Amino acid sequence: MCKSVTTYGPIRCLRVAAVQLPTRALALTPTLRTAFHHRPALPHHSSQVSHPRRAFTSTAKRHQITAFLESLHELAHQDEHQAPARNKARYGTERAGRFALLERHHDQEQPAEQRAKAPQPRPYDTGNNMSSSLEFITTPTADTPGTAIIVRSQSSNHYVFGTQAEGLQRAIVQQGTRLLKVKDFFLTGRTEWKNVGGMAGMMLTMADAASTSYAQSVATWEKAKERGRLLDSPAKPSFNIYGPPNLKHMIGTCRRFIFRKGVPILATEYTSTPQSNKTEGGHLPVYDDDFLQVWALPVTPVSKPMDPKQVAELEDEIREWELNGNTFEDHQQPPNETPEERCARYDRIRSVTVKHMFDSSWSFDTLVERHISEVEMPTALFVRNSDGQGFKPYTGPKPGDSTTLPDIKVWTRTPWPGAKIMSLPPTRPAPESICYIVRTHSARGSFDVARAKELGVRPGPDFGKLTKGLSVQNASGETITPEQVLGPDRPGQGFALLDVPSVDYLESVVQRDEFNTPDIMKGIEAFIWSLGPEVAAHPILKEFMNRFAHVKHIISSADVSPNRISYDSVANQTTRLAQVDPVRYRVPQYDLTSLPQKQLLEVDQMQQILDLPENAVVADRGLSATLMPKFDLKLETRQPSFRPEPIEKETAQEVLDLAKTAQKAVQDCQPDFEPWRALLDHPDTDITTLGTGSALPSKYRNVSATLVRVPGVGNYLFDAGENTMGQLQRVFPPEELTQILKDLRVIWISHLHADHHLGTASVIKAWYRIRHNSMPTALLPNAATILSNVDEFGLSVISHDGMLQWLREYSAIEDFGYSRILPLEIFPAVLGQSGSYLNINGKSISGDPRIVRQDYDTLFGFADIQAVRVAHCHGAMAVSVTFPPSSSESRVKPLKISYSGDCRPSRPFSTIGKDTTVLIHEATFDDELAGDARAKKHSTTSEALGVGARMNAKAVVLTHFSQRYQKIPVLQTVQDGESSPEEQTLAATEDAGAEADDVDPTTDSTAQNSDIRSTPSGSAMPQTPKLVHQASSLGENERVIKVTNKDMKVAIAFDYMCVKLRDIIELEKYNEALNELLVKEVAEEEGEGADVNANGKRMSEDDAEEKGKGKKQKKKGKANSKRNN
């Protein structure tokens, strides 16, 4: 890949292609350099013209190269004394070395053309490609909108190709797919949220898993070193992401909520510039390792002239950014810079940003001293202890307070690198859609044992040398070469993965030169088509398929693939929940017959049956193919589609009997429910818990999102974790969901953790399409005149500055509707001083930014909104929203909805939520893990109920459960004179001091990085409150929670639950049936042979695999020990 820019006007500076270095390049030492320049002449081969790195493919010729490479490595030992013995016969470094070379590519020390043309001899192939395959992880459905494929090799790394759409990570969990060996991700399509919405969550998960694995490997290596065993040190983990332009910019926008150390993630972008991956010899692969080669095919739609107005606007943004936004000291604008040089500089800035996010040397405990007047708040302040040893939190007057600051110096943490990057260089949406041609390398021919014996070769090590391309001598002293005993090489096999977003791209795809290049197309046995609307039926595509009728065509598109269920586990559970409580639960939405899939706003679309060619099949999850030694499509591996009828038949009779009892109890108790219901304003308010899990999506619970619908007023979304839009499409049919989105008025984002906001863009984009037909507006929001322009905006996103900055930055990549929303920054209330207020926080605004309270009803439908900071992470807030009263009765208080987000129990939150109608509160941890809850700044079940009791809440909805829990607690009302765990927990919390629970976020240990948990140097972990556990006759697995306020009704949330406010009182009748159901489900899973670790927690697939490896190694060690004895 060579450096290039597009040729359409000033916007070309935004299309820099990252240079892809050869992936097995040899870092030559001085001695090696000398040897290389005086190397013997190597034999010529015709393939040298098309691909220098694979110039020598026959056994004989590769044998000659191997001998030369061995001499190079002998010289390397003389210079370095470092190369491990296992690399003697290899050309190039191990995989970790390749990543180091890729890092150097960002410095652009060598001209791109030289890097692309450098000859790349390869190691002799030992046959690792003899077994390899591909498998579909996702195909387009309502909650897995993209196509993703994993390519596996028997003894090499694995690779993921396709989109990184929202829901991919959960699909991987559902299918039990292992990503243990995946280091390289090849993104297809354009850089837009539909294709990359799951990438941020995937990066976090992969980085965390790699860090944990690396730490364990280092510990094992150190122990072995202490015992005198000489092993190679573990390679530092790293990942590569390849894809379209703006990929680095997209990753960079996540810098405020993603920060990991020691796991480099390197991004490479491909552009549509013709010369970007060509040399004089033809097309070079952009990726080439021991297993496969990859050619990138960037395609663009029919070219359209740039709007001169947009060009001028971009130039203005660039000038403004250079003057006021460029905080990169090493990347300031030099004089007389050309547009191409500016492109390269902007690319380096984005690369540096990504490096800071994943490979920083920043330390949480590094403190710097400065005068208190120079400190920018909020941040944590420390002073030295009186003995001069260690630090303690500073508690005196702080910058921004009304009191006079003391003349002292304080210690503060240095902001982590991403926090210091105020903005990224300007960009615009990139048209390129990336496709790939993928092919394995050829594998050696079969070893002819009989022929080897006939030639006098001794069985044993000599056989191995011959298979590795080395000559040996037989008993008679004759030299036997590999070609004498090996059959012909087996050619590599592969596929083309073509992402065609719309009909406009189709002609560009089918006209690619690569399809007419025999050296590239040799061995390509399948075309995998990821197609946008109406592309599958287009005549151009059919003509192309007929042209390549000798290969398989696999089509992945919403036009041909039905909207089947993607997450079977939660669908099965919800189907059974609907048997227990059919009012609150219904079978998730799916459709196995309608094609194309029904889309929002197009529910009455014409159904059509496509006439696919005989060599075409429809992609489905689980569909797989063997690549080597021979391509073979395996239709039988497709996973069966979910159907509710078999699930319903399998439900245990005990569960159904308890359900009938509960349903009858609800009917009989209706008169008893009325007094409580009479106290509710807007009793038909509907609460839908879309995501009820914490941190990561699991098979049963997605991440946080709760929809509240107030009839006659509007709809409100509290948090929007990844794939919230997919969850909405599973709960509501298209007709109903269209209306729900039309009536959506506010999205509240509590804090900038990925599991609470990564679904926001998709929801806004769906609303934008329905309400505004995806047409932007040039009108700037003005608080003074906003009421006259309500229809121009309509949807408000209320959060803190970090969230709004992320939306603003991402809008440069894709028009997802940002111009139509009202981005509002909320300033939290300071109890006893001021209440919350809202300011418009957009790209640019007109006039006074503050929204006056009198306009709230018209703009939002509510009368007041109050937020307070809570102890969880930097910027975390809890909120209470009060609606205008609809009842004239004085005893009926106005509808108030309070939402905690993630936090410890908070007195200020209890204050602003006083007399709340319904509290939606996190209950991440069971009471037995109160210490974990305190350390990780979450709440236990009893603590959440305690907050509700303080508020005098009518109802509490518990959500955000740890993914480890499948049980629900048994709730029992406290009798007169009896104490409750929630009271004792709160008492213990208060006794621990205000610093323990109501932590001022300006002294929060996570203040500068929302994803770091640490304890300040010199400070002690707060003591865990002691809990009184209630004895129970209900069985040892049931958790009994005492509820103080008998008038406070409690709902335990599951995904897809829809409950009206007035019906929360009914839910307690179903608890026994629900617990019985969950017990049966856990038993079923355990019966399937699920691995369980020492803590009784179900193990992941990768954990189980590692456990198996450990057992094998242990067994092998014992065997070796016996042999040694």
pLDDT in tens, 1006-1023: 333 333 333 333 333 333
Look at 93-102, 581-590, 906-915 and tell me which has the smallest mean pLDDT: 93-102
Taking a C-beta distance cutoff of 8 angstroms, is the pair 681, 883 a contact? yes
Measured from the Cβ of residue 462, the count of other Cβ atoms closer than 10 Å reads 18
pLDDT of residue 425: 97
- Mean per-residue pLDDT for 1087-1106? 41
pLDDT of residue 419: 73
Q: How far apart are CA 353 and CA 328, in angstroms?
A: 10
Of the candidates 374, 392, 375, the residue with the CA atom closest to the CA atom of residue 383: 392
CA distances to 225, 501, 1037 from 232, in Å: 10, 46, 47
* Residue 205: pLDDT band with limits 50, 70, 90: very high
pLDDT of residue 967: 61
Task: Please give the residue that has the higher pLDDT: either 263 or 1082.
Answer: 263
Task: Please give the residue that has the higher pLDDT: either 661 or 791.
Answer: 661
Choose from 606-620, 931-945, 975-989 the range with maximum mean pLDDT: 931-945
Task: Please give the residue that has the higher pLDDT: either 1000 or 743.
Answer: 743
pLDDT of residue 978: 55
pLDDT in tens, 749-801: 999 999 999 999 999 999 999 999 999 999 988 898 899 888 899 999 999 99
Cα angle at 622 between 618 and 626, to 5 degrees? 90
pLDDT in tens, 118-166: 334 344 444 445 689 999 999 999 999 999 999 999 877 899 999 999 9
pLDDT of residue 965: 63
Taking 90 as the threshold, does the pLDDT of residue 417 lie above it? no
* Residue 724: pLDDT band with limits 50, 70, 90: very high
Q: How far apart are CA 506 and CA 895, in angstroms?
A: 53
Mapping DSSP to helix (H, G, I), strand (E, B) and coil, where does residue 637 land? helix
Record the pTM.
0.82
* Residue 103: pLDDT band with limits 50, 70, 90: very low
Taking a C-beta distance cutoff of 8 angstroms, is the pair 240, 334 a contact? no
Phi/psi for 796 (5° steps) reads: -105, 135
Look at 78-82, 205-209, 254-258, 594-598 and tell me which has the smallest mean pLDDT: 78-82
Of the candidates 410, 416, 411, 409, the residue with the CA atom closest to the CA atom of residue 364: 416
Taking 70 as the threshold, does the pLDDT of residue 81 lie above it? no
Axis-axis angle for helices 539-547, 503-510 (nearest 10): 20
* Residue 1038: pLDDT band with limits 50, 70, 90: low
Choose from 11-15, 584-588, 606-610, 828-832 the range with maximum mean pLDDT: 584-588
Residue 644, token pair as written in the block: 């509710």
- Mean per-residue pLDDT for 34-63? 37
Structural domains for the chain: 367-415 (no CATH), 446-487 (no CATH), 660-1004+1022-1082 (3.60.15.10)
Question: What residue type is 376 in one-letter code?
Answer: E
pLDDT of residue 368: 84
Taking 70 as the threshold, does the pLDDT of residue 1070 lie above it? yes
Taking a C-beta distance cutoff of 8 angstroms, is the pair 711, 685 a contact? yes
pLDDT in tens, 330-372: 999 999 999 999 999 999 999 999 999 998 877 766 788 889 9
pLDDT of residue 976: 53
Taking 60 as the threshold, does the pLDDT of residue 113 lie above it? no
Cα within 13 Å of Cα(424), Cβ side: 32
Taking a C-beta distance cutoff of 8 angstroms, is the pair 973, 949 a contact? no
Of the candidates 602, 579, 596, the residue with the CA atom closest to the CA atom of residue 535: 596
Of the candidates 434, 510, 345, the residue with the CA atom closest to the CA atom of residue 5: 345
pLDDT in tens, 903-940: 999 999 999 999 999 999 999 998 889 999 999 999 99
**What phi-psi label fits residue 907: left (phi over 0), alpha (psi between -120 and 50 degrees) or beta?**
alpha
Q: How far apart are CA 554 and CA 560, in angstroms?
A: 11
* Residue 1093: pLDDT band with limits 50, 70, 90: very low
Taking a C-beta distance cutoff of 8 angstroms, is the pair 890, 860 a contact? no
Cβ partners under 8 Å of residue 716, min gap 6: 707, 708, 709, 710, 744, 745, 746, 747, 748, 881, 897
Residue 458, token pair as written in the block: 């001794």
* Residue 1041: pLDDT band with limits 50, 70, 90: confident
Of the candidates 236, 230, 242, the residue with the CA atom closest to the CA atom of residue 94: 236
Choose from 20-24, 34-38, 354-358 the range with maximum mean pLDDT: 354-358
Taking 90 as the threshold, does the pLDDT of residue 231 lie above it? no
Look at 265-279, 395-409, 664-678 and tell me which has the smallest mean pLDDT: 265-279
Taking 60 as the threshold, does the pLDDT of residue 989 lie above it? no
**189: which DSSP letter?**
B
Q: How far apart are CA 983 and CA 848, in angstroms?
A: 46
Place of tokens 């060598």: 110
Percent of the chain with pLDDT over 70: 76
Q: How far apart are CA 420 and CA 404, in angstroms?
A: 28
Residue 92, token pair as written in the block: 């190039």
Look at 72-76, 386-390, 416-420 and tell me which has the smallest mean pLDDT: 72-76
* Residue 22: pLDDT band with limits 50, 70, 90: very low
* Residue 606: pLDDT band with limits 50, 70, 90: low
Taking 50 as the threshold, does the pLDDT of residue 998 lie above it? no
Look at 20-24, 591-595, 712-716 and tell me which has the smallest mean pLDDT: 20-24
Task: Please give the residue that has the higher pLDDT: either 326 or 1029.
Answer: 326
Residue 745, token pair as written in the block: 């008025």
Task: Please give the residue that has the higher pLDDT: either 384 or 1014.
Answer: 384
pLDDT of residue 278: 59
Look at 80-94, 293-307, 723-737, 769-783 and tell me which has the smallest mean pLDDT: 80-94
Give the mean pLDDT of the chain.
81
Measured from the Cβ of residue 849, the count of other Cβ atoms closer than 10 Å reads 16
pLDDT of residue 1114: 43
Taking a C-beta distance cutoff of 8 angstroms, is the pair 1065, 676 a contact? yes
Taking 80 as the threshold, does the pLDDT of residue 25 lie above it? no
Choose from 31-35, 400-404, 809-813, 884-888 the range with maximum mean pLDDT: 809-813
pLDDT in tens, 831-865: 888 899 999 998 777 778 999 999 999 999 999 99
* Residue 596: pLDDT band with limits 50, 70, 90: very high
Measured from the Cβ of residue 259, the count of other Cβ atoms closer than 10 Å reads 23
Residue ranges in 511-593 assigned as alpha helix (H):
518-521, 539-547, 568-580
- Mean per-residue pLDDT for 884-901? 93
Question: What residue type is 463 in one-letter code?
Answer: F
pLDDT of residue 973: 64
What is the DSSP track for 1093-1121? -TTSPBPPHHHHHHHHHHHHHHHHHHHHH
Task: Please give the residue that has the higher pLDDT: either 139 or 984.
Answer: 139
* Residue 389: pLDDT band with limits 50, 70, 90: confident
pLDDT of residue 97: 31
Of the candidates 180, 122, 124, the residue with the CA atom closest to the CA atom of residue 152: 180
